[in-house]
């Protein structure tokens, strides 16, 4: 790529940094969100850091074979953020793309537009493969990757470095020169308007704020007894599960939802949907209710809503649910929705102290949903 070349596409202008960008660079890089997810940024970020970046840091990226662009508003020239290419591997025609956006410019598709614009320019000038690495908890950046045509490729264990010298995992998203521009189709799409509801119960995506209720529900003895293995969870495990719920959904691992009472807004339980076999279109569901909400038909309503979404927008052709044979209450829920008992798989699941548990499987086809 040529230093100083301006790229204008998708409603943004990519241009070299200017001295007049200093205040806006500080605004973007000193922001708590940028500081949280870009550990390479100095903390705190000052005007001195911004001037160094404009005068020395960005030119050094170009010299090293990468690219360092300011994202600017085409109408005003005002800096909105930054996008660039790093870690080029010429022998593989590969580079890593990254970006940040000022707080005032977020939520307008700026990062997606800039990522698309630079990706297309990179492909037009000889790059064949681009990687985009995101923090597992940075759902917003993962949505940018998907919208810009990057496909989830897998987990990079301990690929990121913390400010204190520790290590953490990163998610890898990749776009090839021959790939369509995006957005990438997802295994688990978003819920319509963010919720599924029959006006009695509502299902919404799990968030970090749901850790308390999720731990309270799933640490109950009767809930633990119906899972495999029947081991009580830790509070830390559920805090992490809730923090990563958005990422698990976006990568297609699992859709985790909270069951809410519509009248009061109170949480009643949780449920989830995951693909068990993508090639054959088979998915699996699970669910649990807090004691105060049992016996009201809420589990049946939640499973019915989730199954309808699975067979519709999620494109699943067959649903299964595994239960321990003694969980007759759960069996009745499934049968009311239309699930049929299909198989008793002896010793399929891990129990305690090396024991094995039987798994009674129920299955549902779209025409059988009641």
- Cα-to-chain-centroid distance, residue 35: 20
Q: Which long-range contacts (CB under 8 A, 24 or more apart) does 93-96 make?
A: 93/126, 93/127, 93/128, 93/129, 94/127, 94/128, 94/129, 94/130, 94/131, 95/66, 95/122, 95/127, 95/129, 95/130, 95/131, 96/130, 96/131, 96/132, 96/133
**What pLDDT digit, counting tens, does each position of 33-55 carry?**
888 888 778 889 999 999 999 99
Q: How much is the pTM?
A: 0.91
What pLDDT was estimated at residue 353?
82
What pLDDT was estimated at residue 313?
94
Q: How confident is the model at residue 227 (pLDDT cuts 50, 70, 90)?
A: confident
- Contact of 230 with 250, CB cutoff 8 Å: no
Q: What are phi and psi of 166, to 5 degrees?
A: -75, 180
Q: How confident is the model at residue 370 (pLDDT cuts 50, 70, 90)?
A: confident
- Contact of 218 with 238, CB cutoff 8 Å: yes
Q: What are phi and psi of 140, to 5 degrees?
A: -60, -40
What pLDDT was estimated at residue 36?
82
Judged against a pLDDT cut of 90, whether residue 163 lies above it is answered with no
Judged against a pLDDT cut of 70, whether residue 4 lies above it is answered with no
Average pLDDT, integer, range 135-145: 95
Cα 163 from Cα 341, distance rounded (Å):
53
Average pLDDT, integer, range 18-42: 89
**What pLDDT digit, counting tens, does each position of 67-90 carry?**
999 999 999 999 999 999 999 999
- Contact of 97 with 131, CB cutoff 8 Å: yes
Strand partners, 257: 205, 271
**What pLDDT digit, counting tens, does each position of 294-317 carry?**
999 999 999 999 999 999 999 999
Taking alpha carbons only, the member of 86, 83, 66, 75 closest to residue 28 is: 83
- 102, with CB counted inside 10 A (0-12, 13-18, 19+), is buried
Q: Which long-range contacts (CB under 8 A, 24 or more apart) does 230-234 make?
A: 230/351, 230/352, 231/352
Spell out the residues 6+ positions from residue 168 whose beta carbon is closer than 8 angstroms to its own: 135, 136, 158, 160, 161, 162
What pLDDT was estimated at residue 2?
64
What pLDDT was estimated at residue 189?
96
- Contact of 270 with 250, CB cutoff 8 Å: no
Average pLDDT, integer, range 123-149: 96
- Contact of 69 with 103, CB cutoff 8 Å: no
Average pLDDT, integer, range 199-215: 96
**Is omega for the bond preceding 183 within 30 degrees of 0, making it cis?**
yes
- Is the Cα torsion angle 141, 142, 148, 150 positive or negative in sign? positive
Average pLDDT, integer, range 103-124: 96
Instruction: Of 19-23, 294-298, 327-331, 353-357, give the lowest mean pLDDT range.
Output: 353-357
Average pLDDT, integer, range 314-338: 94
Average pLDDT, integer, range 80-107: 95
Rg from Cα positions in the chain: 24
Q: How confident is the model at residue 105 (pLDDT cuts 50, 70, 90)?
A: very high
Give the relative orientation of helices 211-218 and 235-243 as an angle to the nearest 10 degrees: 130
Judged against a pLDDT cut of 80, whether residue 346 lies above it is answered with yes
Q: pLDDT averaged over the chain?
A: 94
**What pLDDT digit, counting tens, does each position of 233-284 carry?**
899 999 999 999 999 999 999 999 999 999 999 999 999 999 999 999 999 9
- Cα-to-chain-centroid distance, residue 161: 20
Give whichever of 230-234, 302-306, 357-361 has the largest mean pLDDT: 302-306
What pLDDT was estimated at residue 1?
61
What pLDDT was estimated at residue 157?
95
Average pLDDT, integer, range 86-110: 95
Measured from the Cβ of residue 268, the count of other Cβ atoms closer than 10 Å reads 25
Spell out the residues 6+ positions from residue 285 whose beta carbon is closer than 8 angstroms to its own: 271, 272, 273, 303, 306, 307, 310, 319, 320, 321
Average pLDDT, integer, range 218-227: 89
């Amino acid at each position: 790529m040529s230093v100083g070349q301006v790229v204008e596409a998708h409603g943004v202008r990519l241009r070299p940094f200017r001295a007049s960008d200093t205040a806006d660079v500080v605004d973007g890089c000193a922001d708590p969100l940028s500081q949280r997810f870009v550990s390479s940024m100095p903390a705190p970020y000052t005007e001195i850091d911004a001037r160094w970046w404009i005068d020395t840091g960005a030119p050094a990226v170009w010299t090293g074979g990468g690219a360092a662009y300011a994202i600017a508003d085409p109408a005003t020239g005002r800096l909105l953020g930054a996008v660039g290419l790093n870690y080029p591997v010429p022998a593989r025609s590969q580079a890593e793309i990254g970006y940040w956006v000022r707080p005032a410019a977020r939520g307008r598709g700026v990062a997606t537009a800039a990522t698309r614009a630079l990706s297309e320019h990179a492909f037009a000038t000889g790059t064949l493969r681009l990687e985009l690495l995101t923090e597992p908890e940075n759902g917003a950046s993962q949505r940018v990757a998907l919208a810009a045509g990057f496909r989830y490729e897998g987990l990079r264990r301990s690929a990121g470095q913390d400010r204190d010298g520790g290590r953490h995992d990163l998610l890898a998203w990749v776009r090839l020169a021959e790939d369509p521009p995006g957005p990438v189709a997802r295994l688990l799409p978003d819920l319509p308007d963010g919720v599924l509801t029959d006006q009695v119960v509502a299902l919404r995506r799990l968030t970090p704020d749901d850790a308390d209720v999720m731990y309270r529900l799933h640490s109950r003895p009767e809930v633990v007894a119906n899972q495999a293995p029947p081991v009580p969870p830790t509070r830390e495990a559920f805090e992490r599960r809730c923090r990563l719920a958005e990422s698990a959904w976006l990568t297609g691992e699992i859709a985790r939802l909270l069951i809410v009472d519509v009248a009061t807004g109170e949480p009643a339980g949780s449920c989830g949907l995951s693909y068990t076999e993508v090639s054959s279109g088979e998915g699996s569901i699970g669910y649990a209710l807090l004691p105060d909400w049992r016996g009201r038909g809420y589990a049946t309503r939640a499973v019915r809503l989730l199954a309808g979404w699975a067979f519709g927008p999620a494109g699943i052709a067959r649903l299964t649910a595994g239960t321990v044979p003694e969980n007759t209450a759960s069996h009745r829920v499934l049968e009311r929705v239309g699930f049929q008992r299909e198989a008793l798989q002896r010793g399929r699941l891990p129990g305690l102290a090396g024991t094995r548990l039987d798994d009674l499987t129920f299955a549902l086809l779209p025409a059988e949903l009641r």
